[in-house]
Amino acid sequence: MDKRRIRRTLTATLLLGAMLAGSVAFAAWLATGTGSGYARAITASDLSTDTVATVADLYPGGTGDVKIKIVNPNPYPVLVTDVVRTSDPITSDKGAACDASTGVTMTDQTGLSLAVPASGSATFTLAGAVSMSNASHTSCQGAVFTIPVQLSGQSNA
């Protein structure tokens, strides 16, 4: 064999050996596997309402606004979609005579978009949501009525 051919063969062998050694070294760092990751969701806390000042706009035969302050104790914002009257009685700050015949009713409010911030509160006016009939006792003049409601919504993140 001539020297050129030997040199080419030796160069090709060394080059092939270097490539093979490099790929083996690279492959030694690869690894695969399977398994599971874990995350845990919090348990949502109930929304609540808080006292809020309201304007006197209710009278027998008329309608008025409902003011509602919604408190969100959750660490994420909430979008309240429904404010629905419960079956609990509507009461007043004027006592038994007014409470016995408030004549006050509330129309359920659905399809709302009331945004309440994470760990915060927001106050809303539900326009024309409450009405008073002529059955309301005269002692209800100037009364502030407490209307039990149920709130429904979803996270708004």
Structural domains of the chain, ranges and CATH numbers in brackets: 48-155 (2.60.40)
Tens of pLDDT, residue by residue over 72-125, are 999 999 999 999 999 999 999 998 999 888 899 999 999 999 999 999 999 999
Q: Provide the pLDDT for residue 100.
A: 86
Residue 17's CB is within 10 A of a number of other CB atoms, namely: 10
Q: How far is CA 37 from CA 2, 4, 41, 42, 93, in A?
A: 63, 60, 14, 17, 55
Q: Provide the pLDDT for residue 19.
A: 67
In the block, tokens 């809020």 appear at 52
Tens of pLDDT, residue by residue over 2-53, are 777 777 776 767 666 666 666 555 556 788 889 999 999 999 999 999 988 7
Q: Provide the pLDDT for residue 23.
A: 59
